[in-house]
Amino acid sequence: MDGLQIKALLAGLFFGLWPLLMNKSGLNGNVSAMAFAGLVLLFVSPFALSNIGDLSNTKWLMVVGAGLFGALGVMSFNGMLAKATPQAVSTLFVLMIVVQTAVPAVYQVIMNGGLSLTKGLGFALAAIAAVLLVKS
Domain ranges across the chain = 20-83, 86-136
pTM: 0.81
pLDDT of residue 64: 97
Describe the crossing of helices 3-23 and 86-112 by its angle, rounded to 10 degrees.
140
pLDDT < 50 positions in the chain: none
pLDDT of residue 13: 92
With CA atoms as reference, report the closest residue to 77 among 95, 50, 62, 63: 95
CB-based burial label for 52 (10 Å; 0-12, 13-18, 19+) = exposed
Residues 54, 56, 57, 60, CA torsion sign:
positive
pLDDT of residue 136: 66
| Structure confidence by residue, pLDDT tens digits, 90-120 | 888 888 888 898 898 889 889 988 888 888 8
